[in-house]
Structure formats: structure tokens, C-alpha cells
Amino acid sequence: MPDIQPKVDPAIRLACAIIKKFEGLRLKAYPDAHGRWAIGFGDTVGVKEGDVITETEAIARLSERLAPLLKLVAPFSASVRGALLSFGYNAGIESLEHVLEGESRLEDYVTSQGKILAGLQERREFEAAIVAAAEDGNGLFYPSLALRRQS
């Protein structure tokens, strides 16, 4: 019998697993660490107090937020793309661009309102470890990210 399951990019599968691990799934709006209303897998776009969604809607929202990041991470391996998609989803497209250009490091994005958050530190370490393992194994991967983006 032929496989009728849709083929999902391994990078998206990895990104979703990381996002689900660190964001969790909440179907009712809640205030995030920045005091903004969030829902689903930590999505803050257009969320207001009292909002409720289904798991299917949460997955659709996650897919919508990942879509603009895909082009930025296209040159990299699936594991690096997955980690960078997770980072970009959490920190934003501008932060991802800064990391890709070598202007900052994943580990620079661990604060909220001037305070270091242990959860963000753990997430950044996790994402950075995936990239380091895939790139050169010694943790000095940011220059290679910037160089590969320019070529």
C-alpha cells in the first residue's frame, strides 16, 4: 500500500518539536514572559485576553509564523534549519537576520525586560548545540553561518 502521508520537511518537523518542547500548547490566551497575550505554541500575533483556539488552529498559526523564516534558512542542513526556525519563531525575524549575518549569537537572546530567563537560556543552548553539532562540532559556527549566507 502506498504511503499517503504528506512528506514534511525534516527541518519543519525539528522546529516544531523544539517549539512544542519549549512553548508547550495552550488553547486559551495567557500572558507571556513579556506580558503580551499569547496562545497556541506561544504565538502573540493578534492575540487578546479571552481568546480560545483549537489544536488545529494552533498548528495552522505555527505554520503561518514559520513560513516567512523558511527562505532565510534555506541554505543550511535540515538540522540547522530546524534550530534556526525555532529561534526565529521565538526571537523574531530581525533577530534571526542578525544571527545569520554574524552580528549576534543565539545565546545573546536570553532576556526579557532586562532579566535573564532560565527557560530562554536552556532553549538557546539547545538550539545552539544542534547548530554546533551540524556545523563543525566545536561551537564556533556563527562565522560559517554568515559566510554561507553571503555565497
pLDDT digits (tens, 9 = 90+) for 52-102: 999 999 999 999 999 999 999 999 999 999 999 999 999 999 999 999 999
Q: Which of 120, 121, 122, 144 is nearest to 134 (CA)?
A: 144
Q: Which fold would CATH assign to domain 10-150? A: Lysozyme (1.10.530)
Helical (H) or strand (E) element with 39: strand 37-40
d(CA 76, CA 116): 29
**In sequence order, which residues have a C-beta less than 8 Å from that of residue 147 and are 6 or more positions away?**
none
Output the pLDDT for position 3.
54
Count the Cβ atoms, other than its own, within 10 Å of residue 5.
Answer: 6
Q: Give the CA distances from residue 14 to residues 29, 52, 87, 105, 116, in Å, rounded to whole numbers and listed in that order.
A: 25, 26, 12, 20, 25
pTM attached to this predicted model: 0.84
pLDDT of res. 138: 43
Convert the pLDDT of each residue in 17-28 to its tens digit.
Answer: 999 999 999 999
